[in-house]
Structure 1
Amino acid sequence: MDRGPPSLEPAAPRTRGPCVIAPVRAVLRLRRRVCLLRKRRPPLPGAPEAGAPRAGGEQPRFFTFDGAAELPSRASRKKRRRSRAVLYPESSRKYLPRAERRSRAQHCLLLLVAIVGFQVLNAIENLDDNAQRYDLDGLEKALQRAVFGQPAAIRRIVALLRDYLATHVHSRPLLLALHGPSGVGKSHVGRLLARHFRAVLDDGALVLQYHARHHCPELRGAQACREELAQRVADVVARAEAEEKTPLLVLDEVEAMAPTLLDEVHGFLQPQRSRQFHSAIYVLLSGAGGGEITRFVLQNASRALPQQPRPEGGHEGREEGRAEEELRATLRGVLTREHPLWKSAAIVPFLLLDKWDVVNCFREEMAGEGFFPEQARAERLAAQLSYYRVSGREYSVTGCKQVVSKVNLL
């Protein structure tokens, strides 16, 4: 069969139906599925219906699965998160800036201060316990009751003992130098101190009483006396060191000691000596400087140290303090020229006794000897003694030195 002539029309292009229709179908299926899901979801209260047109004819610019009611809630949640970090709401925990935070070292510092305060308080209590062993309050009462006319000297002695006996360990011994004319009560105070320390220490071997004229007479060599004194002092301080107590060494009539003995006593005070010599109390009783004390009292009779205690804050107390300091400075200058021992001594001057103090001495001695302490008889006995009369006051020349001999004649 003959074929006709070929057609001159161009052939139709090859169709690409499956490549274009498949995406469109997928979009349509997805749209129908979304519409079906929206119909199944119950409508929110106050929300417009799905088919209702939007106000103003606005159409959404982007495709989303969230409803119109969910968008404001998410936006408000984001705002709350941002404001919480900046405004520090009450429900969140606040932190101070790093520069204002307290350092942990402050707690350690407070703990250290508390420990140091407790140690100081404990040390103060220990000091009180150590001082109570020696019963200084009782010593002060005994001295005030038995020693007449020396209130300033008694206060100074007790104050020096109280400061020194606050602790047991010391860097240097205490040297008390009691100076005054004859009969003013120096030896009597030395005996009372020795008696009190024997009682509180419960050991008489810790108290040494050394009389220069008795233990070292003129016929005996000074070197032998020096060796004996050194041995006796060494035994006392060694025993006191073993018992952890403070010994008392009373040296009477020091003005009669030879220079070698004074050198030996001065050597006890040196820091190069062993530690057992550092915790000891030396009481030197001397009449050296008695002339200076007599002249000072007579020249300053109108403002001399009063015989009765005065308040320290008043005018009389200040005047008493100035006069006492002036007298001690005068004595130190005179005594230092004789021997360097007095440079490190705490000088306590004993003043002249007036007539009223001598009367009290007579009454005390009469009561001790078994006589009735009649005031009139005591005044008659006191009138038999010699006195310095100046500025309307009477000071005994010999103090209470002749009281015992006068009472023995009764």
Structure 2
Amino acid sequence: MDGGQPSAELASEAAAPALGIPGRSVMAPLRAVVRLRRRVRLLRKRRLLTPGAGLDPGRPASRGDPDQPQIFTFDSPAELSLRTPRKKRRRSRVVLYPETSRKCRPRAESRSRAQRCLLLLVAIVGFQVLNAIENLDDNAQRYDLDGLEKVLQRAVFGQPAAVGRIVALLRDYLSTHMHSRPLLLALHGPSGVGKSHVGRLLARHFRAVLEDGELVLQYHVRHHCPEPRAALACREELARRVAAVVAQAEVEEKTPFVVLDEVELMPPALLDELHGFLQPQRARPFHNAVYVLLSSAGGAEITRFVLQNASRALPVPRPLRPGGPAHGSRAEEELSAGLRALLAREHPLWQAAAVVPFLLLDKRDVVSCFRDEMAAEGFFPEQARAELLAEQLSYYRVAGREFAVTGCKQVVAKVNLL
């Protein structure tokens, strides 16, 4: 069949001119088709043969052979053998458990003992914290410091900064019962600004809340230790009375209060005895006590400070946190620090004291003192009459403001003349 093809090609070339068709334009495509057909047959024979398998070259390979391709490709058998077969992906099956099945839990014997100890430790710490918080609330409520603050703000005129600092220091100290050192409050200021009045209000309040007058000691230097008496005898008496109050407070688990007025008149022996109460080597009951010192020492320094800062008002100190110590203005803190340094030169007692300065009273504060005293004596607190009485006092006049020289010292005498 292949041998007859050239003759057919020659015959077609010879017949092409007779039909009026150019021979080259018809025979060229036919030759290309014939060559392509031969090449396809040759490639099919090569694909069907398996090299090195010992098969008959004229016999095609079986369809069941996995090494033979099932589709037509232009790759050689050697290239096909070098290809890595694809791995079939295995689908992961979702394991579903029945809802009625019970989960296997560890037995009680297999649990760690450290876990039990940890739970016990957490419970103990939580109980201690809760107990400490309750103790803080109980101690603060026992002394009714909120009521004390209201009383001081209503009865003490012209000293909002001093009242706020006193209440804040007491609140911070009385929140707990056990202390490492006593609280020493030193109230300093000129005459007539309300120091002794605050001392009386503090003694009256704590006698009422402690329900025991023996836990509050008021000591007046002029009354308990006049000049003719020996300072050594006064020192022994003060030590005995303070020891008795502290011992009684330790039995009742309360904080005693010792108010000492006119401390500037105390002899050095009494100051040494007070300083000994603050030492850490003293017995533990002496550490749980509040000492309030009322003194006019440093009054000249406070007067000079007020007159120099008359053009601006000092803000009322406010605690940074509930129950924390109050922080006033920077000028007031500098005044307290300077006053403490000045007093420490006379005696080291004031180095450990919380100094609270009482400033000069304005004229309107003196008028309030007159009205309060008139109401206490049974007179109608008329504003015009109180202002008339206040005009009889002497004042410092600075920057358009008037500060009483003697404060409310002469108010009682003036009202008694009515």
TM-score normalised by structure 1 residue count: 0.72
Matched, 1:164 2:173: yes
**Distance in 2, Cα, partners of 1:254 & 1:312:** 29
Matched, 1:392 2:400: yes
Aligned residue for 2:416? 408
Contact 2:317 2:329 in 1 (8 A): no
**Distance in 1, Cα, partners of 2:278 & 2:179:** 12
**Distance in 2, Cα, partners of 1:319 & 1:198:** 28
Measured at CA, do residues 302 and 311 of structure 1 come closer, stay the same or move farther in structure 2, by a change above 3 Å?
A: farther
| 1:64-83 correspondence to structure 2 within 5 Å | none
Aligned residue for 2:57? none
**Distance in 2, Cα, partners of 1:90 & 1:104:** 35
SS at 1:144's partner residue? Answer: helix
Aligned counterpart for 1:337 among listed residues 329, 336, 345: 345
Q: Shift of residue 89 of structure 1?
A: 3.4
The one-letter code matched in structure 1 to 2:121 is L
Aligned residue for 2:202? 193
SS at 1:362's partner residue? Answer: helix
How many residue pairs get aligned? The number is 315
Q: Shift of residue 119 of structure 1?
A: 2.1
SS at 1:170's partner residue? Answer: coil
**Distance in 1, Cα, partners of 2:115 & 2:93:** 30
Q: Shift of residue 113 of structure 1?
A: 3.5
Contact 2:318 2:328 in 1 (8 A): no
Measured at CA, do residues 356 and 312 of structure 1 come closer, stay the same or move farther in structure 2, by a change above 3 Å?
A: farther
Q: Shift of residue 115 of structure 1?
A: 3.7
Contact 2:161 2:317 in 1 (8 A): no
**Distance in 1, Cα, partners of 2:206 & 2:244:** 17
| 1:166-315 correspondence to structure 2 within 5 Å | 166-306=175-315, 309=316
**Distance in 2, Cα, partners of 1:319 & 1:355:** 26
Aligned counterpart for 1:89 among listed residues 79, 90, 95: 95
**Distance in 2, Cα, partners of 1:312 & 1:234:** 33
Aligned counterpart for 2:151 among listed residues 138, 142, 156: 142
Contact 1:332 1:342 in 2 (8 A): yes
Deviations 1:148-186 (A, max 9, x none): 011111111111111111111211111100000000000
| 1:96-135 correspondence to structure 2 within 5 Å | 109=118, 112-135=121-144
SS at 1:208's partner residue? Answer: strand
Measured at CA, do residues 295 and 103 of structure 1 come closer, stay the same or move farther in structure 2, by a change above 3 Å?
A: farther
Contact 2:188 2:356 in 1 (8 A): yes
**Distance in 2, Cα, partners of 1:367 & 1:193:** 22
Structure 2 stretches lacking a partner, 5+ long: 1-89, 105-110, 321-325
Aligned counterpart for 2:387 among listed residues 375, 379, 401: 379
The one-letter code matched in structure 1 to 2:218 is Q
Aligned residue for 1:6? none
**Distance in 2, Cα, partners of 1:156 & 1:174:** 13
SS at 1:219's partner residue? Answer: coil
Contact 2:165 2:317 in 1 (8 A): no
Q: Shift of residue 202 of structure 1?
A: 1.0
**Distance in 2, Cα, partners of 1:202 & 1:189:** 20
Aligned residue for 2:160? 151
Contact 1:130 1:167 in 2 (8 A): yes
The one-letter code matched in structure 1 to 2:395 is Y
Deviations 1:241-298 (A, max 9, x none): 1111111100000000000100000001111111111111100000011111000010
Q: Shift of residue 106 of structure 1?
A: 6.3
Measured at CA, do residues 182 and 376 of structure 1 come closer, stay the same or move farther in structure 2, by a change above 3 Å?
A: same
Q: Shift of residue 302 of structure 1?
A: 1.6
**Distance in 2, Cα, partners of 1:409 & 1:257:** 33
Structure 1 stretches lacking a partner, 5+ long: 1-82, 96-101
Question: In angstroms, what is the RMSD of aligned CA positions?
Answer: 2.7
Aligned counterpart for 1:346 among listed residues 348, 354, 371: 354
The one-letter code matched in structure 2 to 1:89 is V
The one-letter code matched in structure 2 to 1:322 is R
Contact 1:303 1:319 in 2 (8 A): no
